[in-house]
Structure 1
């Protein structure tokens, strides 16, 4: 599940994940993503979320709410300006990648979490 409100980054993530063998389901808001996750959580293998996703739930809150449902769910944060908040706001065993990033960084971050179940900062 990719949660991003900017269309260019949505498409960038979709292409990068597709090239890496993943299917991206795009949500434009935290509320939309949480609703989809609650409806069919077995459909999703990881959360890739921007931190600042418009009004409503931000990426930090979304990840915490998803982890309340599934405590081990893999989380990758994307940010262009909130990296310093990761240690205090991010969920344990998550990965943060800073924008701009290469497609390979995105695929590597998701693969790392899926393959090991955890990640180091």
Structure 2
């Protein structure tokens, strides 16, 4: 997971450039939507797997999304730092950090839900 995070850090500046060139431009109103939407989306996607009787698909999905969210979080933090240093605090720089934080938080909450749901089985 650390390697995926580092790869995300490397890809952050290119993510920032794609966000900066978005039409219409990303504004500050998109930041809470990205954060909360990512949390809700992860809970919805992983929650469907957790609701199944068999814990294996949920475990595999959580492990896969842990890596994905780690990479997006790394890219978001990298984009945030590059944006702050080159352009100042812009919503395009904060957007990917909020998205990565939301994905990571959603996966962490789903992992807690998984442990609670299968506490008698595991």
State the TM-score, normalizing by the size of structure 1: 0.26
Report the structure number with the largest CA radius of gyration. Answer: 2
Higher helix share: 2
RCO (CA 8 Å, sep 6+): is it higher in 1 or 2? 2
Higher strand share: 1
State the TM-score, normalizing by the size of structure 2: 0.26
